[in-house]
Every structure is written in C-alpha cells, then in structure tokens.
Homo-oligomer: A and B are copies of this chain.
Amino acid sequence: MKRPGVRMVDVAALAGVSAGTASKALSNTGQLSQETRDRVRRAAATLGFTPDARGRALSSGRTYTVALLTTDSSGRFSIPIMRGVEDVLSAGELATVLCDTRDDPLREQTYLRSLVARGVDGIVVTGRRTEPRAPIDVPLPVVYALAASTDPADASVIVDDAAGATATITHLAGLGRTRIAHITGPSDHRSAAERAQAITPALCTEPLFGEWSERWGRQATDLVLRQHPDAITCGSDQIARGVCDRLRELGHSVPDDIAVTGYDNWPVMALASRPPLTTVDLRLEDLGRRAATLLLEAIDGKPHHGVLELPTQLITRESTLGT
C-alpha cells in the first residue's frame, strides 16, 4: 500500500540540491541564494510536490490543523461559525476539523484525547447555547466561541445579546411604536434572560417566557393582545413566525397594526414568515473569524484573556417596514 507520492528528495534531486536545502527553499528559511530557491520551486511545481503532512507534523510539531469542538448537533450555529473559522485559517493553510460531541461528556473526552494525540495546533470550543461552560483541560491553545468559558483567564468570544435586543427596541421606537411587548424562550436560558432584561424597561408589559417554538408564539400572542401592543419583539425567529401567523389569523395586519421582530436571522424562518421578519443577525461568521484570529495568536505564543463581545446586526424586513 505504498503511494507513489513525490517526496522532498525527488524535488531535491531534480533541482540538484539536497533534501534539506530543498526544504529550506520551499519554506523560505535558511541562507539560500534566490537562484537556488527559484530552481527548487520550479522543480516542486514541475513534479506537483505537496509536502507530506505526516512527516512535517512529526518533525516540526505543528500539524496545521485546528479542531472545532461543538455540542450543537444540528449545525445551526456551528456551521456558520466553522465557515468563519475556515475563512481565517485556510488563508494560513490550516485545516479545520469539526467534532460533534452530541452533548455527551464521554464523547467529548474521547475527542479531546484523540485531538491531543493527533497534535492539533489548537481548539475552538462552541455550543448551541450561550450559557458559559466548564473549560476543557488540554495542554493546547483554546478559544471559546458563542458560549464563554467559566474561567475568566480563558479567551472567549461571544455575542452581545443585550445590544442586539436593544437594537430592535430602538428600531421600533424610531418607527413610532410605543407599546412594545416581548415574547421569548425559557427564563432559565441565558439567551432569553439576557435579552429580556436588557429591554424590559422599554416594554409596556412584563416579558412572556415560554419555549422556543412557533406554537408558543401563537399562544403567547393571544395573551399579549390584551395589552393592545403596537409592536411585539420576539426572542427567536421561530416565536416571531408563530406570532405573525396568529396575528394574521386574528385579522391584525403586520406591520400596520402591529410590528413584529424576530431574533437569529435563521433564513428558513425569517424569510418564510409572512411577512418576512425584521430580525437580529448574530454574525456567527464574524464570531468564527474572530475566534480563529485569537486562536492563531495564541498558537503564535500571544494568548488573549477574557471575554470579547461582538456586535450583532439588525436586518430590517417587511414585518416592521411594510412593503
């Protein structure tokens, strides 16, 4: 089972130098004449040489691989974050591998052992919830994304949920809405509690906590209508979609009678809703990019400490603006 891969010695032979010299030429290290470098480069190009990652890893200690460890089996959050991570890392020729722990601590341990054994250069840890999580114990650079580490000495990148929620209120107020209600998820979910807390002073009534579902959105609509709101800001796009559906069934016009906002900018919900939802985009790709940048710096020996909050972006659509 021997692959006929072209090796460094082949390149070196063609260029008329030794393997060590060829290595230096291709990695821009050592003291070599420009002419030699070019000759080796041409030889490498001619042969289509790609250095074997196994040998390189063993020799240099670097694998040029980082792992994205996630508990988000659905991919709803981890996929956009991975995109961002890849954007940054692939520029540096690093590869990204996705490890889904399925929220199983045992599986997480297994993955970590495997990742350390493989010698990944660093790890980005993320999740499907924004609750801070216990740090992982590995002798490697780690950055936490979306869910911060409970250890403030670790580097974490999270979303500024309070600002995101506030942005919807500001937007609605700018449209002249004064009686704003809030329907959101379970009160023991940080993402619900934090957003609700940030905007409660601006509401005409207490936030309604329930679950992250369309059904809850529909049910809560009936409750909230007693307050005669002119706007309903929701804790998720799913809830907002349920609210829109229920309002339409009851004959209320969105946004003329009542404006509605969602949260998450989950395309399948926000765009399929009638009308499409004004919502808050979490900028997960930015999150991933930022996490990757911090990880690279940590790998480079310049670790960052503390929590970094990234801004969200308000996406305006017909559910507040009309057509």
**Of B57, B90, B213, B245, which one neighbours A54 at CB under 8 angstroms?**
B57
Is B117 a contact of A50 with CB atoms below 8 Å?
Answer: yes
B50/A58 in contact, CB under 8 A:
no
Cβ A82 vs Cβ B53 within 8 A: no
A119 B52 Cβ-Cβ under 8 A: yes
In the complex, the answer to whether B97 meets A54 with C-beta atoms within 8 Å is: no
Per the bound structure, the CA–CA distance linking A100 and B97 in Å amounts to 10
Question: Which of A71-79, A181-189, A202-210, A287-295 lies on the face that meets chain B?
Answer: A71-79
Q: Is the CB of A63 within 8 A of B54?
A: yes
A268 and chain B: residue at smallest CB distance: B268
Q: Flag if A79 contacts B83 (CB, 8 Å).
A: no
A118 interface residue (CB < 8 Å to B): yes
Proximity string of chain A (84-120) to chain B, C-beta cutoff 8 Å, 1 when within and 0 when not: 0010001000010110101000000010011011110
Interface range on chain A (Cβ under 8 Å from partner)? 35 or more
Q: Is A272 an interface residue (CB 8 A)?
A: yes
Interchain CB contact under 8 A, A58 and B55: yes
A286: chain B residues at CB < 8 Å are none
A213 to B271, alpha carbons, bound, how many Å? 10
Question: Can you tell how many copies of this chain the complex includes?
Answer: 2
**Cβ contact of A1, chosen from B3, B61, B83, B95, cutoff 8 A:** B61
Q: How far is the CA of A272 from the CA of B1 in the complex (A)?
A: 51
For A73, give its contact among B3, B79, B245, B268 (CB under 8 Å): B79
- In the assembled complex, the CB of A205 is this many whole angstroms from the nearest CB of chain B, namely 26
* A252 smallest CB distance to B (angstroms): 15
Within 8 A of B (CB), among A262-283: 268-269, 272
- A interface vs B, CB < 8 Å? 1-5, 50-55, 57-58, 61, 63, 65, 73-76, 79, 82-83, 86, 90, 95, 97-98, 100, 102, 110, 113-114, 116-119, 139, 213-215, 238, 245, 268-269, 272
12 A–B contact pairs at CB < 8 A?
A: A1-B61, A4-B139, A52-B119, A53-B114, A54-B118, A54-B119, A55-B58, A75-B79, A79-B79, A86-B100, A90-B110, A268-B269
